[in-house]
Structure 1
Amino acid sequence: MNYRKLGSTDIRISEISLGTWQVGGGWGGNFDEKAAADILHEAIDGGVNFIDTADVYDDGMSEAAVGRLLKERSEQIYVASKCGRQINPHVSEGYTPEVLRKYVEASLKNIGIESLDLIQLHCPPTAVYERDDIFELFDRLKEEGKIKHLGVSVEKVEEAQLALNYPNVQTVQIIFNMFRQKPAETFFGKASAKDVGIIVRVPLASGLLSGKMSRDREFDPNDHRHFNRDGQAFDKGETFSGVDFEKGLDAVEELKGIFGEKASLAAWALRWILMFEEVSTVIPGASRPSQIKANLLSSALPAVTNEQLEAVKSVYEKYIKADVHHLW
């Protein structure tokens, strides 16, 4: 495992880490504590030292599983959680320092720790990025020892750029992958100039970039890949990175030809992201331990060549860019 500095913090984290949206066994299913434990322990065994969770993942059961992990391991494990998505309706007016404070304190209790290494605003409405009172709250929480660092998780590049206006924002979590390339063009350089760490989520476009899906693939009715393709429940960019499923499959076939069969497309998709030095870590999820093992192999792959980088860009421009580039 290779480790990278997380922005201006003093933390060095695994370049492949773990996102825990589906850590209980998969999107749409019942939470399985044993499956969650097996996945989390497999990650730590492989050198992962950074776990990203959220209070809304499986109604807090993801956070609780991370808390159990911390009690069972002796390694240094950095924990990031998120707050704000419980607000309903999810509008700027619902965001208040009092409400967010309660969420952070509830997460600390749920995980069983006294201080979070990183707390992130969880994809708040754009208007929140212009509210000083919200960001000032986290200075108070830091003074109280309840958090060590503040970050934001965003939907749009515009929001990421707004977040950079706050000196206490040390990380930005953003969707970036072969099907969502805009952040590298318009945001990464600005984040680097301010020494803000970049956490990449949805690196495999909800599994599209695994190279294992087919047109007849059926998803559980409770899986967001079934019910949220048009943004019925939340931003559609979280589902297949906003890419049309059929068109994405066509693009995947061309990507497979670029990289060949020596490693999976999923591994190459992660390695492609790691080619961008501004990225601090990538947080693919996993619904079983074998996926952890497969994801970690990407760190050992050779560098993506310039020719391959150009070929990936061409596939993006041919199939994807017109549909997604202007939206996020």
Structure 2
Amino acid sequence: MRLAYGCMGLDDVDRADEAVRTAYEVGIRLFDHADIYGGGTAEIVFGQVLARHPGLRDEIEIQTKCGIVLGGAEGGNAYDLSRAHLLASVEGSLERLGTDRIDRLLLHRPDPLARPAEIADAFDVLTAARKVGAFGVSNMAAPQLAHLRSAVRQPLDVNQLELSLHHRDLIEAGVLVNHADAAAYAPVTGTLEYCTDHAVTVQAYGALAQGRFTGRPRGPEDESTATLVRRYAAELGATPEAVVVAWVLKHPAEIVAVVGTTEPHRIRACADAEQVAEAMTREQWWSLWTAARGKPVP
């Protein structure tokens, strides 16, 4: 299944239990965390859910991220991918989750002060101790990922990036080459292609676009897209949520969509997104893109 459940909003064990069980029931097996979600609360609550369901841990994949230090700079946050921080972050996540291993660790943001050799050493330590099974990155463009891959000895098999019908930069970058607007997308140009060519799975966070096209519009500009989403949902025999997620999954990069809602009915509403993506026509896909852009592709 090309859906993952994003655990950022988990803050109460009973609600989390229902959300996790719902995600599991619809076929989701990948649960995505970060050490900063809820200041660590999301991992703690998830650990409490695991404790309620003996055996569940061995049936799912737990992924977490590290590297963002909230309040790590005067007046703001900082990023830290030093060896010491990586090792300490993993220990903290293991304790909060109540598990002895993390299936995949992602580096949450690029750290300008990072030394790739230090990261490689930390990965070796975590691998040898069997505390982390696999590694990846988040929010990295192709050159940053390539630079890191040249230093570490383990495959980096995931790049988690924001991508949705609302946040379309990764796809926009691919069609605006040699256009006046190309400079705005230059940092991510070629990232989808690089990941596809190097067997790096793109995980799309924010795939539901925060509900702006499925009942929670943020402004008048969202209404026309929401209307088209409802129309295509009726045509495809699907939910609006499945249509929005399907727009991401339709891309040939075999993207995995991270669904972060804590509402069980909306989790269920996404369950058929892969099938909807297969049924969605090119015309529907392009029409949704055009509506969300607010103007035609040049």
Residue number in structure 1 paired with 2:63: 80
Residue number in structure 1 paired with 2:266: 291
CA contact (8 A) 2:13 2:48 kept: no
CA contact (8 A) 1:130 1:162 kept: no
- Alpha-carbon RMSD across the aligned residues, in angstroms, is 2.6
Residue number in structure 2 paired with 1:118: 104
CA contact (8 A) 1:129 1:159 kept: no
SS of equivalent to 1:272: helix
CA contact (8 A) 2:239 2:270 kept: no
Equivalent-residue separation in structure 1 for 2:206 and 2:43 (angstroms):
19
CA contact (8 A) 1:85 1:124 kept: no
Alignment deviations for residues 186-236 of structure 1 (CA, whole Å, 9 cap, x no partner)? 3222101111111111002222132x0246xxxxxxxxxxxxxxxxxxxxx
Structure 1 320/162 Cα, relative in aligned 2: closer, same or farther at 3 Å?
farther
CA contact (8 A) 1:200 1:279 kept: no
Residue number in structure 2 paired with 1:101: 87
CA contact (8 A) 1:129 1:163 kept: no
CA contact (8 A) 1:179 1:320 kept: no
Structure 1 position 274 matched with structure 2 position 278? no
Equivalent-residue separation in structure 1 for 2:293 and 2:117 (angstroms):
38
CA contact (8 A) 1:97 1:134 kept: yes
CA contact (8 A) 2:141 2:191 kept: no
CA contact (8 A) 1:199 1:282 kept: yes
Structure 1 position 200 matched with structure 2 position 204? yes
Equivalent-residue separation in structure 1 for 2:268 and 2:26 (angstroms):
7
Letter in 2 for 1:268: V
Equivalent-residue separation in structure 2 for 1:46 and 1:181 (angstroms):
27
Equivalent-residue separation in structure 2 for 1:316 and 1:128 (angstroms):
37
Q: Give unpaired runs (5+ residues) of structure 2.
A: 175-189
CA contact (8 A) 1:255 1:312 kept: yes
Matches within 5 A, 1:171-250: 171-184=158-171, 185=174, 186-210=190-214, 212-214=215-217, 245-250=219-224
Residue number in structure 2 paired with 1:252: 226
Structure 1 159/128 Cα, relative in aligned 2: closer, same or farther at 3 Å?
farther
TM normalised by structure 2 equals: 0.79
Equivalent-residue separation in structure 2 for 1:214 and 1:308 (angstroms):
20
Alignment deviations for residues 82-118 of structure 1 (CA, whole Å, 9 cap, x no partner)? 11223512335x4421122111111011112222111
Q: Give unpaired runs (5+ residues) of structure 1.
A: 1-13, 24-30, 216-244, 323-328
Compare 285-294 and 32-41 and name the one that shifted more.
285-294
> What number of residue pairs does the alignment pair up?
267
CA contact (8 A) 1:258 1:308 kept: yes
Taking CA–CA contacts closer than 8 Å with sequence separation of 6 or more, which of the two structures ends up with the larger relative contact order? 1
SS of equivalent to 2:158: strand
